[in-house]
Amino acid sequence: MESAQELELQNTVGDREPNPHTDSSATIQLIVPGSKHFRWWLRVSLYIFFLLAGQSAAVLLGRLYFDKGGNSKWMATFVQSAGFPVVIPFLFFFTPPPPNSTATSSHKPPPISTLALLYLCFGLLLAGDNLMYSYGLLYLPVSTYSLLCATQLGFNAVFSFFLNSQKFTALILNSLFLLTISASLLAIHAGSDNTTNVSKLKYTIGFLCTLGASVTYSLYLSLIQLYFQRVIKNETFSAILNMQIYPSFVATCVCIVGLFASGEWRTLNGEMKVYQKGKVSYVMTLVWIAVTWQIASIGMLGLVFEVSSLFSNVIGTLGLPAVPILAVVFFGDKMDGVKVISLLLALWGFLSYVYQHYLDDSKCKATITRVDVNSGARIELC
């Protein structure tokens, strides 16, 4: 496969006669995406595993916390971001390379005040998103919660269109339609799906909060992509880690304020005593929720760094349909006909979205990189 692509490129380049006046100081390098190093594929596979495993475990543990006696929405929100110190050691392993003394940088780093303001805004957005997810986990079955989260892929397409110049195609519109129908079926089917013994009002609140969290998370990802394009303009892994650590720190501070302002901190001791699995299990459940969310974040950040933020969101959505199956096994959620149809529509919408990106990637089979020996300039043609 790789040899065929290389042959095609050689024929394409060979059709162009070299100009001795312009090409004497330049060399041509052929870079075939399919021939990326094995270690790159290994890293991507590892990040995918982190994202899928961390996300699934965090959602199930969050549901376990509420099912066994936990009732603090601010505590459930707090643990979604409080595990950020786990990410800090990665800064020492993924430090940016030293600047090249022979090349001058045309882009100055943004001022600290600008970065601080952006981190503050992102942190507030993240705290609100986590709080809405907590309401969803409190009032909804895991299966319904996960299927509603699948709509974030469609919302991401909308925000990408306006913020990141994403083009709409028939397949993407088909994906948006199917995901919307999938969520609508769950809303209509709310009465027979209420396995958490909550009122219809609370179920509706959980439904709307989860849908709002999907919208907010999609906006969050699109704004991060815009942030790297317009502000940082240099997407290094350390910069992405900073975007994870500092907004998470802000979100954690907001959760601490909310925990004390709401008075829920007074109920935590009693909540621990009445927790069905015991005090140790209560603490360990919260600790592992924090850890698994950070594992998922590492996977998400790794995929953003190695591939793209959109690909990271696609992989995150891929893991959502697996959670309802696990919820049937561990929590006894009902998987009736309407929910199966909703699940199939969500999968269909997901596959339609992924297939569109497959077609886009197929248009670019290889990259021709022209390297000027004298100036060191690199011109990439696809």
CB atoms inside a 10 Å sphere around CB 366: 19
Nearest to 57 by CA among 37, 78, 89, 80: 80
Q: What pLDDT was estimated at residue 84? A: 92
DSSP 108-160: PPPPHHHHHHHHHHHHHHHHHHHHHHHHHHHHS-HHHHHHHHTTHHHHHHHHH
Q: What is the pLDDT of residues 161-182, one digit of tens each?
A: 888 776 778 887 887 788 778 7
Q: What pLDDT was estimated at residue 79? A: 94
Kindly report the pTM of this predicted structure: 0.75
Q: What pLDDT was estimated at residue 372? A: 43
Q: What pLDDT was estimated at residue 2? A: 43
DSSP 48-91: HHHHHHHHHHHHHHHHHHHHTT---HHHHHHHHHTTGGGTTTHH
- Sheet containing 378-381: which strands, arranged edge to edge? 26-31, 367-372, 378-381
Q: What pLDDT was estimated at residue 8? A: 42
What are the CA-CA distances from residue 80 to residues 242, 248, 261, 325 (Å)?
A: 17, 9, 19, 23
Q: What pLDDT was estimated at residue 20? A: 41
What are the CA-CA distances from residue 190 to residues 103, 143, 216, 268 (Å)?
A: 61, 12, 23, 31
- Using 50 as the pLDDT threshold, list the residues of the chain that sit under it: 1-35, 101-105, 365-382
Q: Say how far apart CA 65 and CA 272 lie, in whole Å.
A: 11
Q: Say how far apart CA 360 and CA 168 lie, in whole Å.
A: 12
